[in-house]
Structure 1
């Protein structure tokens, strides 16, 4: 017997425990266009926006998603009229997994940019559109993470400058859509980044204006004067959906959902309240509106993302496949706790009312959630794009203040160790990074640069050569304190492995 597909007409058939949209979806108009309609967006902004629609019954804030690369999300959700399920998973007091299902209804359509870029541009230039949001990951901004400058030599940026009606990149798509709005005399919009970038709104603004100046200075002036780019901080752990997750969710629904998403119960969003054309009542879904998001961004990027990266590289190499398995190792848990307490927290701005000790413990408890099965390999992706804001900012502040970077250096050495693409059990894995080829070249040159037979000096030569060959390290490559700290850990990881290195701390 074929299981029917999740569809608006079948919502009344869902089990009573499943939360579902009770508003009139036919009345929803698309006020938000979101670039990068992936798992995180659907489990974070999609959930918050759903709460706003339900709470206010404001039907002007439906959402259109845009996939900038592949058609898989559209192909999965189109037969479901945009409906999808969020499975919120954790464990009860006895450690038994539990799950709450919610069907989200505010995603009205998914466009695939490579198939029809003109349709995306028309949606960006629609009179209904008032917010354009993004979750395109760090690499989707086509910028240098160390300098935050647009990479003009990026193939997509080069293409987008030459082909105004067929943009490929998020930046090119935004500017060409805004150009249409400007030419038609439409109202300005809010451009809202939900990616893990420092000052993500300011960063996005700088990249958009740089591209717009190349297109038309008058367009750049209009964007700078009238459009807004709020900074925001987002936080929710969203693992990759597996076939087992699809089957389990569909069984509980009694209907087939081709692409549900998973999430932890915790959800946070801090966003600056600067919107050019209004906004939904996102506070109904837990959003917090502030004057300045920067202190919260640094807290999230360094405490959460920084420790997540450290855990992932150590976990991948040690053969700990998921975050909960990794953090259950006493030596790793102790390392993460010390990393936060001793070297990350001193770099953070004051956040009145924040209980930092409670924040640490809650974060470790989130990592220990056994129901998520969050893969360390997934978190380890795109390190060249993530490390500047997750770890190197803390390193620079610690060095400037004369503080120790011993624990931060281990996280960076773990990244270098993992770039060899073989874990401690001899299992090969692919380095998934937009700079993978350049990193492999830098690693080969670093090994070739070693002239000393003395192990400590050899490790320093190798590390210095690698850091000089990878632009993201910038001036740190010339710092003996930095290079030597990383070299010591890289040598120990290479010779003795993760467990022994953590034990030696």
Structure 2
């Protein structure tokens, strides 16, 4: 059954449907970057409110700034902007839900002016973002805005036909200011530390270059709440589409699959109203920092700790690595010994229980989360998810080998061949540059660790860390992944002749 409004009443009864009038969908949020995570997270919370008959003026208008976003727009438009969310896991009462909260989607390619006009509408009171960790144009090493990027320079020279998120936001805010329209809240839902503060810095940096008066107005009138967001959402595959059709009778061009777990901790800093998200499980707080640090260091850091090692071993899914006892023990020990001592108390959360939940979530076989997804964009993920942990371990004089192994595994992963001899692509916008760092094996340590963009200044300056990195790199080359983990965990020394790389 093709998913669209006219077919909703013909779907099997157990499928959850929108409980509100789809014809009355009004948009109060514009969301830039409509992918799987947004559709399984922020959109679901907003949908839940509307299903209670509340906040019907807070529907979502999707926005795509990249040419690749056309495929998502076309898929959604072909089915009246409905899509199916499918929860995957071991529980018997997992939900299949048709979601209707996204009412339209605009593409910058089709009309820059139409998009600026939409963002300037008084009804749009929140603009939210999932533009990836690397989308904020902030240098990870210096923390400065990358004003010299060609797309940024284009927007500064052509403010009426922008290409970047910051060009569009400034054009829309300039129009709102000129019309006397109140500013919107700019809300990042991306997975990076202090995402609101990063968004603020990036937008104000751009605005000061474009229009100093506008920058002052933005500083005074726009708010940028920090948030911690969490839900594992694998890439939708053809197998997921086929499974949805076979098991539930829905023909959906682009469903979203996700784990049952869902969390959003959000600072209550909104300048122009907001949905009553607290009524559907969002936790509002004055300070998101302890939640953010817990999630980024424990979940995202542990993801990186297992993903490159798993890929080298020949695994391709997160649950496969967690089915391997060596990986499971290593990741838990990394969480317990390397990360947990660095964390401040987190109100309302017991850390041992949280770590147990993470192990359970990583082991969810039904979700089949792709290691390639977790591996992607390593040059942007390392500075945010691993480097702060490394820097603190160095400062504290702590043991470094477990954490150094994460970096050593990435170094070998960048060669593009796993232990089985299978070649693979490196999904990273800076892949060519990163692979260049490891091309010359004689200078690999100095070149890789000296890449300040990724590792900053403290790591290459630490002789203890450099030694730990070289030790683990040598072990991976001579003992293989399993042998290295065994030695690290148990002090065992497998026969190096059994594995040579």
TM-score (norm 1): 0.93
Which residue, 469, 474, 480 being the options, matches 2:463? 480
Residue number in structure 1 paired with 2:85: 86
Which residue, 137, 144, 150 being the options, matches 1:149? 144
Inter-partner Cα distance in structure 1 for 2:344 and 2:449: 28
Shift, 1:18, TM fit: 0.5
Shift, 1:285, TM fit: 2.8
The count of aligned residue pairs is 485
Residue number in structure 1 paired with 2:354: 359
| C-alpha RMSD of the superposition | 1.4
2:11 is equivalent to residue 45 of structure 1: no
Inter-partner Cα distance in structure 1 for 2:163 and 2:466: 38
Report if the CA contact (8 A) 1:140-1:169 is conserved. no
Report if the CA contact (8 A) 2:49-2:277 is conserved. yes
Task: Output one character per residue of 1:381-425: Cα deviation in whole Å (capped at 9) or x when no partner.
Answer: 000101111110011112112222221111111111111111111
Report if the CA contact (8 A) 2:405-2:472 is conserved. yes
In structure 2, the CA distance between the partners of 1:50 and 1:43, relative to structure 1 (3 Å rule), is same
2:357 is equivalent to residue 374 of structure 1: no
Q: Which runs of 5+ in 2 are unaligned?
A: 489-501
1:25-424 → structure 2 map (5 Å cutoff):
25-69=22-66, 70=68, 71-92=70-91, 99-424=94-419
SS across alignment from 1:91 = coil
Inter-partner Cα distance in structure 1 for 2:452 and 2:192: 20
SS across alignment from 2:284 = strand
Residue number in structure 2 paired with 1:468: 450
Moved more, 141-150 or 323-332: 141-150
SS across alignment from 1:102 = strand
Inter-partner Cα distance in structure 1 for 2:424 and 2:134: 21
Inter-partner Cα distance in structure 2 for 1:146 and 1:195: 19
Task: Output one character per residue of 1:138-176: Cα deviation in whole Å (capped at 9) or x when no partner.
Answer: 121122123332112222212221221222222222222
SS across alignment from 1:60 = coil
SS across alignment from 1:90 = coil
Report if the CA contact (8 A) 1:439-1:470 is conserved. no
2:479 is equivalent to residue 496 of structure 1: yes
Inter-partner Cα distance in structure 1 for 2:290 and 2:13: 41
SS across alignment from 1:438 = helix
Task: Output one character per residue of 1:61-84: Cα deviation in whole Å (capped at 9) or x when no partner.
Answer: 010011221200011010111100
Shift, 1:470, TM fit: 4.7
SS across alignment from 1:497 = helix
Moved more, 146-155 or 234-243: 146-155
2:12 is equivalent to residue 15 of structure 1: yes
Inter-partner Cα distance in structure 2 for 1:198 and 1:254: 41
Report if the CA contact (8 A) 2:140-2:453 is conserved. no
Residue number in structure 1 paired with 2:492: none
TM-score (norm 2): 0.94
Moved more, 300-309 or 468-477: 468-477
SS across alignment from 2:28 = strand
SS across alignment from 1:168 = coil
SS across alignment from 1:80 = coil
Shift, 1:56, TM fit: 4.3
Inter-partner Cα distance in structure 2 for 1:214 and 1:125: 21
SS across alignment from 2:236 = coil
Residue number in structure 2 paired with 1:453: none
Moved more, 346-355 or 287-296: 346-355
Moved more, 117-126 or 244-253: 244-253
Inter-partner Cα distance in structure 2 for 1:103 and 1:210: 40
SS across alignment from 1:133 = strand
In structure 2, the CA distance between the partners of 1:353 and 1:47, relative to structure 1 (3 Å rule), is closer
Residue number in structure 2 paired with 1:454: none
Shift, 1:248, TM fit: 1.7
SS across alignment from 1:192 = strand
Inter-partner Cα distance in structure 1 for 2:143 and 2:165: 15
Report if the CA contact (8 A) 2:147-2:153 is conserved. yes
Task: Output one character per residue of 1:204-256: Cα deviation in whole Å (capped at 9) or x when no partner.
Answer: 00000000001111111111111100000000000111111112213344342
SS across alignment from 1:270 = strand
Task: Output one character per residue of 1:405-459: Cα deviation in whole Å (capped at 9) or x when no partner.
Answer: 2211111111111111111111111111121121122222x42xx2xxxxxxxxx
In structure 2, the CA distance between the partners of 1:324 and 1:292, relative to structure 1 (3 Å rule), is same
